[in-house]
Structure 1
């Protein structure tokens, strides 16, 4: 059973699923950020961008 778990972990890393997820997450962040910038102005825009960045940075410190 432990060999099976290790096989799955190895496959997970071989397929670079952490990297794939991080890339998809960053692309989604940028799409949402662009949408907010194009749709809202002033304090609403600032508040939404702040919330987005707080949520994103909670999981990821690349930006």
Structure 2
């Protein structure tokens, strides 16, 4: 039988690992969005279009990464 303190330590370790993973995912998503916006803006010279397309592509890639 495990003690309460070992269960608590295990949960804190999981929470810290999860927080690091979430921050990494958000940084990845924002970096990808900014990169795509810059590339599409250079091609189209339209900020609104570049934003819409970049958000759509970023969400599709992020969604595909979390499928399954």
TM-score by length of 2: 0.51
Specify the structure having the higher radius of gyration (Cα). Answer: 2
Which ranges of structure 2 fall in alignment gaps of 5 or more residues?
A: none
Is the alpha carbon distance of 1:9 and 1:32 closer, same or farther for their aligned partners in structure 2, counting shifts above 3 Å? same
Whether 2:22 is the aligned partner of 1:22: answer yes
Which of residues 56, 60, 64 in structure 2 aligns to 1:54? 60
Gaps of 5+ in 1: none
2:10 and 2:60 mapped to 1: Cα distance? 30
TM-score (norm 1): 0.54
Q: Using the alignment, how far apart are the partners of 2:26 and 2:17 within structure 1? A: 14
